[in-house]
Structure 1
């Protein structure tokens, strides 16, 4: 399942900010230069930049930078058929390689990979909203960052795992001082509403993008008194 996944990559409303899930008690060691800044995905192995353990269901969720050498075949297998039917697998993976190399050089989007218990679970892109297409549909502010999620289809019905992914992403991205709000755009037939609301996202607006209807959800940084 994808949340408004565009390939090739291009980059009744309620209002008010909701608190993000509290930060994990373990210190996060984060490379402060990696968010929406040029990086390399060429490393043979990328190490986690954020890890969180959920005792309720005994899962460990980790976030790391994308790894071109290992992740692209996995991403290809997750893409809906409407994105993969026009090219053979090898050609499509080469196209993915070109796409993510462009993202690696970008100053407005960054790509990460999520694992659960060390198994591949999701790919996440974070976009600076003022430089993203989403800014055409609402008044984007400098502190707004949009998450775009591509899930392993075999895990898309596991709401506990999806909630863990959202909460770990909140821990990670809100650790950057420039991130004030996280946004997600999901298509009307997507079943992520429940997990988004449990994670503290609230419906901001109903929007119509080219060819589909979607919903814009927003979550604000937790304010510590």
Structure 2
């Protein structure tokens, strides 16, 4: 991780501080180069606007949105101290959007016994022109490696729409354990959590399956 001084102070992870200029690079030999950087409105909003209006992005709940609406939304998120959107690149091309957040300050903390070390994320993939084997899995590991590289992050939380079967499979593959359903204003969601130890165990299981030629 290429990380500059945290200008927001040491009480929050640098990836939640847009002034820090935190970015992350990872090369996965079997797949390609991944890069993360804080979202830039002028550069990134046109891509995001296109993605959220695609049918597959229905769970992002921005269908039929205008460019202005998308820009205003992400301008507000950038200005929210406990949330920071990042743009993800694959081989130098925009490939996914991720919103990192501190659960302790987020509304989600009203739905469970939140801990100060809980951090979450929402992810949206770009439409794939040419499918890449295990691409979503590799993106997931990049995000989790990035977050767990920060010592303040003790546990990751996700709250996916209960109907989104694809993301449930990916979450469980990465070590998330599902707890219970919650009723948010816009959706019924599963609460799931993953510690460093659970993630490390999941990665080891993946290595064993690859070695056996199962995946």
Q: Please give the range of the TM-score, normalised by the shorter of the 2 chains.
A: 0.7 to 0.9
Distance 1:138 1:80 in 2: 32
Distance 2:34 2:28 in 1: 8
RMSD: 2.6
Q: Secondary structure at the match of 2:37?
A: strand
Equivalent residue in structure 1 for 2:19, among 29, 35, 39: 39
Aligned residue for 2:82?
A: 108
Q: State whether residues 2 and 25 of structure 2, in contact with CA within 8 Å, keep that contact through their aligned partners in structure 1.
A: no
Aligned residue for 2:173?
A: 198
Q: Which deviations, in whole Å up to 9, do the C-alpha atoms of 1:98-117 show, x marking residues without a partner?
A: 33233223211111011122
Distance 2:29 2:170 in 1: 18
Deviation at 1:31, TM superposition (A): 3.0
Tell me if 1:139 matches 2:113: yes
Q: State whether residues 113 and 123 of structure 1, in contact with CA within 8 Å, keep that contact through their aligned partners in structure 2.
A: yes
Distance 2:150 2:50 in 1: 31
Equivalent residue in structure 2 for 1:167, among 141, 156, 161: 141
Distance 1:79 1:202 in 2: 28
Aligned residue for 2:193?
A: 218
Q: Secondary structure at the match of 2:62?
A: helix
Equivalent residue in structure 1 for 2:184, among 196, 209, 212: 209
Deviation at 1:211, TM superposition (A): 4.6
The change in CA–CA distance for 1:114 and 1:54 in structure 2 (over 3 A counts) is same
Distance 2:124 2:194 in 1: 19
Misfit runs of 4+, over 4 Å:
none
Unaligned runs of 5+ in 1: 1-27, 41-45
Equivalent residue in structure 2 for 1:178, among 149, 152, 157: 152
Q: State whether residues 18 and 38 of structure 2, in contact with CA within 8 Å, keep that contact through their aligned partners in structure 1.
A: no
Equivalent residue in structure 1 for 2:33, among 48, 60, 68: 60
Equivalent residue in structure 2 for 1:83, among 51, 59, 62: 62
Aligned residue for 2:206?
A: none
Distance 1:215 1:159 in 2: 27
- TM-score, normalised via structure 1 length: 0.71
Q: Secondary structure at the match of 1:149?
A: strand
Aligned residues: 184
Q: Secondary structure at the match of 2:48?
A: helix
Q: Secondary structure at the match of 2:68?
A: helix
Equivalent residue in structure 1 for 2:2, among 29, 35, 39: 29
Q: Secondary structure at the match of 2:194?
A: strand
The change in CA–CA distance for 1:96 and 1:212 in structure 2 (over 3 A counts) is closer
Distance 1:38 1:215 in 2: 29
Unaligned runs of 5+ in 2: 7-13, 55-60, 201-215
Deviation at 1:78, TM superposition (A): 1.0
More helix by share: 2
Distance 1:31 1:176 in 2: 13
